[in-house]
Amino acid sequence: MKKTLNIKGQLLELNGAKVMAILNLTPDSFYDGGMYTSEKEILQACTTFIEQGATFIDVGASSTRPGADLLTPDQEIKRLSIILPKLKKEFPKTYFSIDTIHVKTAKYALDHGFDLLNDIFGGRANQAIFDLAAEYKVPYIGMHSIEKPKNMQDKPLYLDGVLEHMKFYFIELQQKARAKGINDLILDPGFGFGKTLQDNYTILNHLDVIKTWFECPILVGVSRKSMIYKLLKSTAQTALNGTSAIHSIALLKGADILRVHDVKEAVECIAIYQQLKSCQLKY
């Protein structure tokens, strides 16, 4: 199992799992929409994320919540331009990821020093994004998803089951990425992206099986999502406890990266998980 990422020539070890903080520069994200609008708020958020233990910060300009309309590349870049050129200058030791399906937006971020590409469409929007990741020698995060955010939750159905669909989806994605020269591929099961509640928990329960299929790190993004608050009959605002519970399960099942709104709590989950692992008896 690959336990390192080569990020522009720097090797990052993933042993013990890492945290990716979510920085949404959007007014309509399901939980933190409109939270970060000024340069001061954004820089303070990044400072807090880093102080609390985030290794990565994932920056997005277009909401991908169910029912959302995706922005054009120019709309994304306009929204990002208020802060993106300053982020790597202010925080040179932090790894920044751009969350986009658009090649133009991805190139804009990479030209300003960003370190990873996070593509919720897994290349389905434009396979040239694979060429871009290979050219800039950055890790590529490919998510399992169906349809677009606008209609992905309109009765999602997998005739052979969600795990079987995911297996062949990721096999094809991996083949395309490798053919383009991408050596560092991270797979995201896409919790909440074209999945029923049952699908989401089936994936979580079999995350360790998914890991055996691919020699790639696994990123888990469940933070405050409806698979938590709908089950618990609560809201995204009150779903932190449920999020931490699922993070703990995901770590036990082999997750390598947790993509989160709440960094401190995720780091604590990892610390407990690492302590648990260190106490395993050898028979």
Please identify which of the residues 180, 259, 277, 282 carries the catalytic annotation.
259
First-to-last C-alpha distance (Å) of the chain:
23
CA distance 36 to 60: 11
Please identify which of the residues 86, 225, 230, 233 carries the catalytic annotation.
225
CA distance 244 to 249: 9
CA distance 195 to 253: 20
- For this structure, is 150 an active site residue? no
CA distance 107 to 70: 18
| Two tokens, residue 67 | 């029912």
Closest CA to 29 of 225, 234, 242, 191: 225
Cα 251 → chain centroid? 15
- For this structure, is 137 an active site residue? no
- Angle between helix axes 128-136 and 103-111 (nearest 10 degrees) is 10
Q: Which residues are catalytic?
A: 225, 259
